[in-house]
Structure 1
Amino acid sequence: MVEIKLEGRDLTQEILNGIFLDVKDHFQKLGKSMELAILGEGMKMKGEVVMLQVMGHVQEELALKMKPEVIRIIKELASVNHFKLELEFKEELESERSKLYTSSDKFNFLKEKHAALGEFQRMFGLETDY
Structure 2
Amino acid sequence: MSIPTSLSHTKKIIAEKAKIEEAKIEQKKAEVKIDEPVNALQLTQEKLEEVMPKVLDHYKNQNKVLELAILNQPSKMEGHEICFEVMGHVQEEIAQKMKPELLSLIRDLTGVGKLAIKLVVKEELESTNNKLYTSSDKFRFLKEKHPALLEFQRKFGLETDF
Short-chain TM bin: 0.7 to 0.9
* Offset at residue 43 of structure 1 (A): 2.2
Q: In the alignment, is the contact (CA less than 8 A) between 2:89 and 2:121 conserved in 1?
A: no
* Pair 1:13 & 2:62 matched: no
CA RMSD of aligned residues (A): 1.9
Q: Give the counterpart of 1:112 among 144, 153, 161.
A: 144
Segment drifting more, 11-20 vs 76-85: 76-85
CA distance in 2, matches of 1:116, 1:69: 57
* Offset at residue 46 of structure 1 (A): 3.4
**Residue 29 of structure 2 aligns with which residue?**
none
SS in 1 for 2:101: helix
User: TM-score, normalization: structure 2?
Assistant: 0.67
**Residue 99 of structure 2 aligns with which residue?**
67
Q: In the alignment, is the contact (CA less than 8 A) between 2:70 and 2:91 conserved in 1?
A: yes
* Offset at residue 20 of structure 1 (A): 0.7
Give the direction of change, closer, same or farther, for the CA distance of 1:6–1:89 in structure 2 (3 Å limit). closer
User: TM-score, normalization: structure 1?
Assistant: 0.82
* Pair 1:129 & 2:158 matched: no
CA distance in 2, matches of 1:78, 1:85: 15
- Structure 2 unaligned blocks of 5 or more: 1-37
Please say which structure displays the higher CA radius of gyration: 2
Q: Give the counterpart of 1:93 among 117, 121, 125.
A: 125
Instruction: Indicate the structure with greater helix content.
Output: 2
CA distance in 2, matches of 1:102, 1:7: 62
